[in-house]
A and B are shown apart, each in its own frame.
Chain A
Amino acid sequence: NAGVTQTPKFRVLKTGQSMTLLCAQDMNHEYMYWYRQDPGMGLRLIHYSVGEGTTAKGEVPDGYNVSRLKKQNFLLGLESAAPSQTSVYFCASSYGSGRYEQYFGPGTRLTVT
């Protein structure tokens, strides 16, 4: 099992460009999440999904969109990147149904210039 994988690992964008981060999990988990991690701020939840075809906003959703068309994939989109979106992005997944531990991917380091 690969667990949770994320692509790409690194990306540099110019202000105003768009991109999509891909997260895939092979554990048949119901729930998936996108976080960002900034120095001194801890992990903050951007969006999450409790099942295929459903998404919901987290703590810091502005400037991001998500889609979960297939159970194993969760996409995070930046429509018009801003320097404030420079961060490390982590995807995670969990079983749901009374099991709350989350499994994280290796992260994507995004720099917006």
Chain B
Amino acid sequence: SQKIEQNSEALNIQEGKTATLTCNYTNYSPAYLQWYRQDPGRGPVFLLLIRENEKEKRKERLKVTFDTTLKQSLFHITASQPADSATYLCALNRLQGAQKLVFGQGTRLTINP
């Protein structure tokens, strides 16, 4: 069956270090992979989208990699800050029906001062 797994339910990182979150998928052939941030009591907010033919995407302190051979995406936050504490969701678009997203269950990231 099709599955998206975000490897850690919760991750604690010291301020200033790089936080790395993992998203693995099976039985999908995604055309795009997206990362969202969700704060408690709020809706998800779009961060980055990476296409299947892109290896890496950056935005300020954020970096996403996409390895279609390993069926894995890594999401990095460099120079992490307590304000980066949130739940991070990965989501896949398939080429057909590309308007529909399938979400992982999320990783709750806490940055400790």
Chain A residues in the interface with B (C-beta under 8 A): 4, 31, 33, 40-45, 48, 50, 58-59, 90, 92, 94, 96, 100-107
Which of the segments B11-19, B62-70, B74-82, B96-104 contacts the partner chain? B96-104
Determine which residue in A4, A43, A104 has the highest number of CB atoms from chain B within 10 A of its CB, and name it.
A43
Q: Chain B binding site: helix, strand, loop or mixed by DSSP?
A: strand
Q: Name the residue of chain B whose CB is nearest to the CB of A31.
A: B99
Q: Are A90 and B49 interface neighbours, CB within 8 A?
A: no
| A96, B100: Cα distance in complex, Å | 10
Residue pairs across A and B with CB atoms within 8 Å: the count is 54
Chain B residues near A100: list those with CB within 8 A.
32, 34, 49, 93, 98-99, 101
Q: Chain A binding site: helix, strand, loop or mixed by DSSP?
A: strand
Interface residues on B, range: 20 to 34
Chain B residues near A50: list those with CB within 8 A.
99
Say yes or no: A42-B43 contact (C-beta < 8 A), given A100-B49, A100-B93. Answer: no
Known: A33-B101, A41-B105. 12 other contacts (CB 8 A): A4-B43, A42-B104, A42-B105, A43-B89, A43-B103, A100-B32, A100-B34, A100-B99, A101-B34, A104-B43, A104-B44, A104-B45
Q: Are A90 and B46 interface neighbours, CB within 8 A?
A: no
| A102, B105: Cα distance in complex, Å | 17
